[in-house]
Amino acid sequence: MLTNHFTEEEVDQPVYTHIVRLSRYLYSITDVKQSLFLSILGHDGEQALFWGYELYFSGFQEETFDYLLDIAKILFQIYALDCDEDNHMIDLVNYSLYLWRLSPHDSDHQLGNCILTMCNHNHNLAPFIRTYFKTNIEKTSHLSDNIYITFDSEKVNNYTPSYSDKPLYKVLQYARKYAVNKTYNQLFQTYTPENLNEVYFKNWLYHASFSPLWEQRILEYGGIVDEEKHQVIFEDEDLEEEFYSKWNYEPDEQSIETHQKAMGNKEDLQNDLETFCKQYGYKIIEDV
């Protein structure tokens, strides 16, 4: 059993029946989470907000906060990974989640508070790298200050844009602002489906149905998920036509650039642990 320790997903080898879940704009949920982690690690607030709210507004509100807790345990531990004491970032995420649960309909900004604060704090990867990669590292790059950020609630609207003035087939072109980061898939043991066309083109709606947002859209028009055929079936043709006239983004008809933002580029090199550490401000000292 392999585990992607950045997305907490387990992989059986050699046979694995992983179901790829697609997000609001038809990114892989696994890729969204990994890109969120790497954006926070790189102190890139703009991208981190994009990925965080892509996950959040796909209907995974609580899962997004839970994933931030996982990130807090990885990046902001002072001591061993199994010790949550003195981890102020865990306290922040838990408190933000508490406030969100009190008023979920007008507390979307709580997620932004957590993400931006994480991006503006020094992190500590040493306990994680030592535990899972049996390697000692030391930090070589530091932020001058650790800053707690309050995210303006009105700015949440930037992550729920309306594309009603665009043809449906152009929505993904505008909505996919960033490309997923797959350059560490091998290092992180991230699952990648063999048949990308099946996931992103042929049966995209089936894979999107695993996101609460798309599930709600499908149910609204009487759609049924056929698990055996990996399809979504509409028993009423008129409702089916209405559904596709409103939500068919035509993912197979996009430009190569738009495809690659979700599917990745096969030409991209896979980076190793040394490159990973160097990119995010660490250097390897020795193997444990």
pLDDT for the residue numbered 192: 83
Residue 260 φ/ψ, nearest 5 degrees:
-70, -25
> Residue 189, by phi and psi: left (phi above 0), alpha (psi -120 to 50) or beta?
left
More confident residue, 199 or 85: 199
Cα–Cα nearest to 172, from 253, 245, 231 = 253
Do 81 and 132 contact (CB within 8 A), yes or no? Answer: no
Q: Average pLDDT for residues 76-103, to the nearest whole number?
A: 81
Please count the structural domains in the chain: 1
- Structural domain including 134 reads 2-287
Residue 98 scores a pLDDT above 80: yes
pLDDT tens for 18-37 read 789 999 999 999 999 999 99
pLDDT tens for 222-232 read 999 999 999 99
Q: What is the pTM of this model?
A: 0.91
d(CA 174, CA 131): 41
pLDDT for the residue numbered 83: 53
pLDDT tens for 121-167 read 999 999 999 988 999 999 999 999 999 999 999 999 999 999 999 99
Longest Cα separation, the chain: 65
Q: Using alpha carbons only, what angle is made at residue 32 by residues 76 and 120, rounded to the nearest 5 degrees? A: 35
